Amino acid sequence: MSKAWGGRFEQATDPRVEQFTESISFDARLAEVDVRGSQAHARMLGRVGLITSAEAEQLCAALDAIGQEIARGELPFQTSLEDIHMHVETALIQRLGDVGRRLHTGRSRNDQVATDLKLYVRDAIDQVDRLLIDVQRAFVERSPADLEVILPGYTHLQRAQPVVAAHYWLAYCEKFERDRQRLADCRKRVNISPLGAAALAGTSLPIDRHLTASLLGFAEPAANSLDVSSDRDFLIEYCQCLALIAAHLSTWAEEWILWCTTEFGFLKLPDAYTTGSSIMPQKRNPDVLELVRGKSGRVMSAAPRLLTLVKGLPLAYNRDLQEDKLAVFDAHDTIVACLELMPAVVLGGGLQVERINARLEEGFLDATTLMEYLIKRGVPMRTGHETVGKLVRDCERRGCRLAELSLADLQGACPQIEEGVFGVLGVANAVRALVSYGSGGRASVEQQLSRWQQRLGITSAG
Which parts of 312-351 interact with ligand ARG (CB under 6 A)? 317, 319, 321-322
Q: Residue type for 183, please? A: L
Q: Least CB distance from residue 274 to ligand ARG, whole Å?
A: 41
x/- binding map, residues 26-45, to ligand ARG, per CB under 6 A?
Answer: -x------------------
Beta carbon of residue 107, minimum distance to ligand ARG (angstroms, whole number): 11
Q: Return the number of the residue (4 or 347) whose C-beta is nearest ligand ARG.
A: 4
Residue type, 205: L
Q: What binding mask, one character per residue, do residues 88-127 give for ligand ARG by CB under 6 A, x or -? A: ---------------------xx--x--------------
What is d(CA 180, CA 118) in angstroms, rounded to the nearest whole number?
Answer: 18
Closer to ligand ARG by CB, 156 or 319: give it. Answer: 319
Question: Which of residues 34 and 361 has its CB atom nearest to ligand ARG in the complex?
Answer: 34
Nearer to ligand ARG, 308 or 450 (CB): 308
Kindly list the distances between the CA atom of residue 345 and the CA atoms of 143, 189, 275, in Å, as whole numbers in the listed order.
14, 34, 13
- The nearest distance, CB 15 to ligand ARG, in angstroms, is 18
Residues in contact with 416: Cβ distance below 8 Å, sequence separation at least 6, in sequence order: 374, 377, 378, 379
Name which of residues 429 to 448 contact ligand ARG (CB under 6 A): none
Q: Which of 46, 59, 67, 83 binds ligand ARG (CB under 6 A)?
A: 83
Nearer to ligand ARG, 199 or 375 (CB): 199
Given the complex with ligand ARG, which of 193 and 368 has the nearer CB atom?
193
Beta strand spans in 143-238 (E): 150-155, 158-164, 192-193, 220-221
Residue 287 near residue 274 (C-beta atoms within 8 A): yes
Quick one: three-class SS letters along 266-319? CEECCHHHCECCCCCCCCCECHHHHHHHHHHHHHHCHHHHHHHHHCCCCCCCCH
User: Please, which residues bridge with residue 159 across strands?
Assistant: 154
Nearer to ligand ARG, 23 or 115 (CB): 23
What's the min distance (Å) between Cβ of 60 and ligand ARG? 22
What's phi and psi for 415, nearest 5 deg? -65, -20
Tell me the closest approach of the beta carbon of residue 30 to ligand ARG, in angstroms. 9
Which residues have C-beta within 8 Å of that of residue 65, sequence separation ≥ 6? 95
Phi-psi region of 344 (alpha: psi -120 to 50; beta: other; left: phi over 0): alpha
Which helix (H) or strand (E) segment is 458 a member of?
none
Binding to ligand ARG in span 279-318, by CB under 6 A: 317
Instruction: Name the residue among 345, 336, 346 with its Cα closest to residue 132.
Output: 336
Pairing outcome for strands 220-221 and 267-268: unpaired
431-437 own/partner pairs: CB under 8 Å, 24+ apart:
431/150, 431/162, 431/163, 431/164, 433/369, 433/372, 433/373, 434/161, 434/163, 434/369
Cβ-based neighbours of 211, under 8 Å, separated by 6 or more: 43, 44, 47, 48
List active site positions. Answer: 156, 277
Minimum Å gap between C-beta 317 and ligand ARG is 6
Q: Considering beta carbons, is residue 161 or 322 the nearer one to ligand ARG?
A: 322
* Closest distance to ligand ARG from the beta carbon of 112 (Å): 7
Give the largest CA-CA distance in the chain: 101
225 binds ligand ARG (CB under 6 A): no
Amino acid code (one letter) for 229: S
Residue 232: name the closest of 194, 270, 277, 285 by CA.
194
Least distance between ligand ARG and beta carbon 117 (Å): 8
Query: Could you tell me the smallest distance in angstroms from the CB atom of residue 196 to ligand ARG?
Result: 16
Residue closer to ligand ARG (CB basis): 107 or 142: 107
- Kindly state the number of chain residues that form the binding site for ligand ARG, as judged by CB under 6 A: 11
CB 122 within 8 A of CB 189: no
Q: Using CB under 6 A, list all residues that contact ligand ARG.
A: 23, 27, 83, 85, 109-110, 113, 317, 319, 321-322
